[in-house]
Structure 1
Amino acid sequence: MADFIQCGLCPHHCKLKEGQSGFCKARSCIGGKVVSLTYGEMAAFHLDPIEKKPLYHFYPGSRIFSAGGFGCNLRCFFCQNHEISQHVSHGQYVTPQQMAAMSAENDSLGICFTYSEPLVWYEMLMETAPLVKKQGGKVVLVSNGIIEEEYLNNLLPYLDAANIDIKGFSEEFYHQHTGGKLEWVLKTVEKLAAKVHTEITTLVIPTLNDSPEEITALARWLAQLDMPIAWHLSRYYPMYKSNIPATDMGHLRVLWDQVKDILPYVYLGNMPGGNTTCCPKCGRDVIRRDNGIRMETKDSKCPDCGQLIWGQGLR
């Protein structure tokens, strides 16, 4: 008889002995079963603009109750949320029913699971999401995309939108800097994009994943999905264990210029400019994000040429 049990939630497939925690720090073997160490422990919560996720084509201008637990199944040395992703602690205890109730307050669109890695908080997602849907709310996921297909399939019927981090476009980058595999993430993106509203974020880190060749290759991979995708090229700042200087804004604009004709909706994040939605046919500004959100679409179309602007919740 084996003296360990294997966690099947993500492709790490951690083999856990009694009392041992997995790679994500959020799951353990207790009593011969894999259990969540963070069930009910809410590490952070806030009412956020949907654009902060970032989601630019999903109910622009709305706000959504956002919550996250502890732990992550990656080990990025540049992590932007390392205080809760790389540690497990006690947060504010909540039940799924309480979280669902919070998601219905203050004109919230619904609930967004975010901040750390929500997929390792799986039981909370699976018990909360149906309650939110039942009361008419939307369910959003912001994730690194690392999960086994069986578990993703169980969650998919409750999801309305997702933003997935593709942290780099090489297996070498994922192996050296995250402890994961690119193929795991791409598989999830393909599955999600075919079923729910999906946007992608890439944190552009100098010398690691910022070559024009790599960024162009990722743009072409996203384009071949043959379904609309919005891509956020986000400016990196030194965090956690990284002392690499912040991404040069000029270089980020060069990368944007290089891929904007490959994908219809490409944005620059964490820096001024680059957050306006333009009509992919005639180039007119149709959604402006400066001091508030100004939608100039008409029936979700460009008012000048009639081109349909991809998204949900546009007027």
Structure 2
Amino acid sequence: MVTNNQLPPANHPTHYWHALADGRLQCDVCPRECKLHEGQRGLCYVRGREGDEIVLYSYGRSSGFCVDPIEKKPLNHFLPGSSVLSFGTAGCNLACKFCQNWDMSKSREMDTLADSAMPVKLAETALELGCRSVAFTYNDPVIFLEYAVDVAKACRELGVKAVAVSAGYIQDAPRREFFQYMDAANIDLKGFTDVFYRKICGGELQNILETLRYVAHETNVWLELTTLLIPGENDSDEELDAMTRWVVSELGPDVPMHFTAFHPDWKMRDTPATPPKTLTRARQIALTNGIHFAYTGNVHDPAGGSTFCPSCHEVVIERDWYQLGFWGITAEGRCHVCNFPLPGVFEAEPGHWGPRRVPVKLLE
């Protein structure tokens, strides 16, 4: 293990903000545009005003590190079978009532950030552990943009990929900087109505759609989408039909979609868990509307988790939970049956990490 880890600063300068005529400072990272007096923090909690600037309090600090299968992010077309060093910080810039990482994303205690690691240390640790990538996950990395970007830069120098797991709620200028340094992203498309985003998530759908268009068409980031289906909230045939048609027309049929099961949590403990048949129905709607790769998640469904060639419909990657089985992709990234080129980031052989989840303690 790499040692001599430099301790993180108590705060870190940021540059996406400006002064208002009334003396407040406005944070310009996300559409909330929090306007802060001295000593106040934004809704995300980790960005706040100190003196005449807005600083980041979570730079170099984490709620914990873990080595996961890349499929858990979920990313099914990005270095399948490989391991990823995952970590998050605290706070979030949305207020999703169903949050399943609420203990971290809604934390208002900096003691949550008990582990520390500066960017170079994180990149070196990922390399030592044999991880092909580092993932910013558990809470949204756009709120710790400066830290995530510096980690991604350090990773790039060592040949380690950077993965963002995000809701995509971010303004244009920081969006361009952030995704410039990402190699892959799984972005939550939480629903497909303004009402759902405002009532359940405390955000705006149109900003998310702008982020998705930007990543799909103006970057080289490998993109996959996740929608957590909540009974009675975002799982109607009409909404799923509209969403999947939009993805095909605006992003393209090769962007994989993951439909995952909700379980009662945080402020929605009285809402029932998602029936597996709902996920199967969503997957079928997506496939019918032209999505080439649609998956189910958070349930045991080998067929819904496996990858099929969109041309000949043969299995090319067999999955059971996070365990890979049959591998039918050639060294050139094509279907072993019909030679159809499969979109994604593949290597000649799949990784062999399997379903393991291994907590990691970084030594100082």
TM-score, normalised to structure 2, is 0.84
Match of 2:252 among 214, 226, 238: 226
Asked if 1:264 corresponds to 2:292, the answer is yes
Instruction: Determine the C-alpha separation between the residues in 2 that align with 1:98 and 1:142.
Output: 21
Instruction: Determine the C-alpha separation between the residues in 2 that align with 1:284 and 1:105.
Output: 37
* Structure 1 residue ranges (4+ consecutive) displaced by more than 4 angstroms after TM superposition: none
Write out aligned runs for 1:154-233 (5 A).
Answer: 154-194=177-217, 195=219, 196-224=221-249, 225-226=251-252, 228-233=254-259
**Unpaired stretches in structure 1, ≥5 consecutive residues:** none
- 1:53 maps to 73
- 2:328 maps to 296
3-state SS of the aligned residue for 1:29? strand
- 1:305 maps to 338
TM-superposed deviation, 1:106: 1.6
Query: Identity of counterpart residues, as a percentage?
Result: 37
Instruction: Determine the C-alpha separation between the residues in 1 that align with 2:165 and 2:78.
Output: 13
Instruction: Determine the C-alpha separation between the residues in 1 that align with 2:190 and 2:209.
Output: 11
Contact 2:253 2:291 in 1 (8 A): no
Instruction: Determine the C-alpha separation between the residues in 1 that align with 2:126 and 2:40.
Output: 34
Q: Which moved more, 1:1-10 or 1:157-166?
A: 1-10
Instruction: Determine the C-alpha separation between the residues in 2 that align with 1:110 and 1:226.
Output: 25
- 2:30 maps to 10
CA RMSD in angstroms, aligned pairs only? 1.3
Match of 1:253 among 255, 274, 280: 280
Amino acid at match of 1:302: C
- 1:44 maps to 64
1:257-280 Cα distance to aligned partner (Å, 9 max, x none): 222132000000001111010011
**Unpaired stretches in structure 2, ≥5 consecutive residues:** 1-20, 349-364
3-state SS of the aligned residue for 1:238? coil
TM-superposed deviation, 1:227: 6.0
TM-superposed deviation, 1:114: 0.7
1:45-84 Cα distance to aligned partner (Å, 9 max, x none): 1111000000000010000111111110000111010000
Contact 2:142 2:178 in 1 (8 A): no
Q: Which moved more, 1:249-258 or 1:113-122?
A: 249-258
